[in-house]
Amino acid sequence: MTEQELTDRVVASFDTAKDERFREVMRSLVRHAHAFVRETGLAEDEWTAAIEFLTEAGHLTTDTRQEFVLLSDVLGISMLTVAVNEPALDGPAEPTESTVLGPFFVQDSPEIELGGDIAGGASGEPSWFSGTVTDTAGHPVAGARVEVWEADDDGMYDVQYEDGALAGRAHLFTDADGRYRFWGLTPTPYPIPDDGPVGRLLDRAGRSPMRAPHLHFKVTAPGFHPLVTHIFVADDPWLDSDSVFGVRDSLIRPFDRHEPGTPAPDGRRPQGTWTSASFDIVLRKE
CB 82 within 8 A of CB 100: yes
Sole window of 12-20, 100-108, 113-121, 178-186 interacting with ligand BEZ (rule: CB under 6 A): 100-108
Q: In sequence order, which residues have a C-beta less than 8 Å from that of residue 20 and are 6 or more positions away? A: none
Cα atoms in the 13 Å half-sphere on the side-chain side of 122:
34
User: Rounded distance, CA 83 to CA 229, Å?
Assistant: 12
- Judged by CB under 6 A, the chain residues 209 through 268 that form the site for ligand BEZ are 211, 244
Among 57, 79, 96, 103, binds ligand BEZ (CB under 6 A): 103
Nearer to ligand BEZ, 104 or 255 (CB): 104
183 near ligand BEZ, rule: CB under 6 A: no
**C-alpha to C-alpha distances, 243 to 83, 206, 276, nearest whole angstrom:** 17, 11, 25
Q: Which does 172 bind (CB under 5 to 8 A by kind): Fe ion, ligand BEZ, none?
A: none
Considering only 22-30, 97-105, 166-174, 175-183, which stretch makes contact with ligand BEZ by CB under 6 A?
A: 97-105
| Residues 98-157 interacting with Fe ion (rule: CB under 5 A) | 102
Q: What is the dihedral of CA 226, 193, 203, 37, to 10 degrees?
A: -50
Residue 107: strand, helix, or coil: coil
Q: How far apart are CA 35 and CA 7, in angstroms?
A: 9
Residue 172 or residue 247: which is nearer to ligand BEZ going by CB? 247
Strand pairing of 274-278 and 126-135?
Answer: parallel
Among 100, 210, 221, 233, binds ligand BEZ (CB under 6 A): 100
Does 102 participate in binding ligand BEZ (rule CB under 6 A)? yes
Chain residues in the site for ligand BEZ (CB under 6 A): 70, 73, 100, 102-104, 192, 211, 244
Chain residues in the site for Fe ion (CB under 5 A): 102
